[in-house]
Structure 1
Amino acid sequence: MPLGRRGELVAVIGAEAEAIVYLYASCDRKATCPALGDPDAVFHDRFTGRAHTPEPRLLRDFAELSAANELDLARLDPALRRRRGPELLALFTRCRPLLSRPAWLDGHAILAPSPLARD
């Protein structure tokens, strides 16, 4: 959906949900994720180039949505899990204060190497 139609999305899902969707879609992950979880982390908007610090609740919602999406992909794709698992686990570990307990536990269960795993 083009950015110019954000108002239409607000009308369908509400302003709060649309703000979460926008934050998720606008995230410049290469610039944002290395510091995500730090108290003074800066969020980089890939659409506007603007850097800002979202309010804590919105940042937690962003972390939850990001975790849900990445874990869904990792759960379904063993190759992705092998390739990106350590990177994602490191990200979730940095973001642990932003994640709910169920999201953290699910992430750890899916991404942490099993002690019984062998190469």
Structure 2
Amino acid sequence: MSGPEAAPTAEEESELAEQCSLLGLDAELLRQAEAQQAQEEDDGDYELPPELHDAWQCFLLTLSQWRVQVGLASVFYDGIDRSSLFACMQMLGIKRRKQRDVLLQVQIIESEARVHRNKE
């Protein structure tokens, strides 16, 4: 496509149809899925499932507790300090048997946040 919102050209449509037929895919279903994904990406609001509330709360409470590496001309956000994260879990009353799951969920959130924090 020529631009982010431009309609595909006839040549691009033909190429897509050819690739889909080689892979045994339905080109129309592919277009529908692509349109749905674009719409979901445009939506600014996301609903957080209840099972992720503890992880999100821990992430937000430790937002200022990142380990930072400073170089000559740059700063790199490495990750959330684990001792701060575990202290946060204790203060929130997260049961010990659930802390492993919360830690893994926070690490997933942290990995995406690291990308965005290091863009700055």
Query: Structure 1 length as normaliser, TM-score?
Result: 0.35
Structure (1 or 2) with the larger CA radius of gyration: 2
Bigger strand share: 2
Query: Structure 2 length as normaliser, TM-score?
Result: 0.34
